Amino acid sequence: MDTSPRFLQGITFFDDDPKKNASIAPTSDTALSGHERIARWRFRSSGVPIWLGCRYEGTGIVLTRQLPASYKECRLVYGPGEVVKKISCD
């Protein structure tokens, strides 16, 4: 059994149940200083739940969780090599 660490490879937001594959594109994607960039998702108030999916390197695993209805925006900071450095939602 491989017990090496698995790092977060990517994030996907879904409009409703992830099984429906309705992923949401970022509202904006902006380069920051250095080799960082920030992607921002703004969620509309449609009454449909927003889900977060987390993908991990070297696996086919995607962990999902429904976000609280109060969340209207999420931001994801990528570092060099598209490494996920930070995610924040409010």
Q: What is the tens place of the pLDDT at every residue in 65-90?
A: 999 999 999 999 999 888 899 999 99
- Please say whether the dihedral angle defined by the alpha carbons of residues 32, 77, 41 and 88, taken in this order, is positive or negative: negative
Question: What is the rounded average pLDDT of the residues 57-70?
Answer: 92
Quick one: average pLDDT of 11-22?
Answer: 94
Average pLDDT of the residues in 40-61? 91
Chain-wide mean pLDDT for the chain? 92
Neighbours of 88 (CB within 10 A): 9
pTM of the shown model:
0.87
Q: Is the pLDDT of residue 44 over 90?
A: no
- The Cα 61–Cα 48 span in angstroms is 24
